[in-house]
Amino acid sequence: MIRELVNDEELLSTPCEPATAEDAELAQDLLDTLASIEDGACLAANQIGVAKAVIAYKDDKERAHVMFNPGMKRALRPYRTEEGCLTREGATKVTRYDQATFTYQELVDGVLIPRKKECRGWTAEILQHMIDHCKGKLI
Ligand SMILES: [Zn+2]
């Protein structure tokens, strides 16, 4: 189901609760909502009003993916950049890493399975933006 984007700063600055296998519908709502946004690259659950650590993003081939409880490990080559956000006006200066290993869970047949993925460049950057959303950081 497509949901409305939320830009309530209080909700967006609350750290998200861990997501569970019960959040399958929320993950689908994220995919539906992301698909409905022109040029939307990524979306965190709190941006559609649910403070759970689930995110959706499109890779550089425009394929959409969901991550439950994403985290970052082994980040390399920091750089400074400016990022915009779907639920905040203006751009914010941030430090990002050009390459990183991301840990997350994937929902397979109703069970959360731990996964790891190495990402670079654009995908690494949007995932870092998403992890910040899960922590309640406003970017
Ligand atoms: Zn954002």
21 within a domain of the structure (yes/no): yes
Q: What is the pLDDT at residue 36?
A: 97
CA of 88 to the centre of ligand 1 (A): 7
Nearest to residue 60, comparing CAs of 103, 121, 17? 121
Angle at 1 between CA 27 and CA 23, to 5 degrees: 25
CA 12 to ligand 1 center in whole angstroms: 9
Question: What's residue 60's pLDDT?
Answer: 86
Q: What is the pLDDT of residue 87?
A: 94
- 108 CA → ligand 1 middle, Å: 27
Instruction: Tell me if 79 is assigned to some domain.
Output: yes
Q: Are 54 and 68 in contact (CB under 8 A)?
A: yes
- Residue 41's pLDDT is 95
Ligand 1: centre distance to CA 46 (Å): 10
CA of 113 to the centre of ligand 1 (A): 26
Helix (H), strand (E), coil (C) string for the chain: CCCCCCCCHHHHCCCCECCCHHHHHHHHHHHHHHHHCCCCCEEEHHHHCCCECEEEEECCCCCEEEEEEEEEEEEEEEEEEEEEECCEEEEEEEEEEEEEEEEEEEEECCEEEEEEEEEEHHHHHHHHHHHHHHCCCCC
CB atoms within 10 A of CB 110: 8
Domain that holds residue 56: 9-134
The reply to whether 2 falls in a domain is no
Question: Is residue 4 domain-resident?
Answer: no
The CA 6 to ligand 1 mean position distance, Å, reads 11
Distance (angstroms) between ligand 1 centre and the Cα of 22 equals 24
pLDDT in tens, 24-50: 999 999 999 999 999 899 999 999 999
Q: How far is the CA of 133 from the centre of ligand 1 (A)?
A: 6
Whether 139 has a pLDDT exceeding 90, the answer reads no
The number of folded domains in the chain is 1
- Any domain includes 3: no
Which tens digit of pLDDT belongs to each residue from 77-98?
Answer: 999 999 999 999 999 999 999 9
Task: Kindly report the CATH number assigned to the domain that includes residue 49.
Answer: 3.90.45.10
Please report whether residue 1 resides in a domain: no
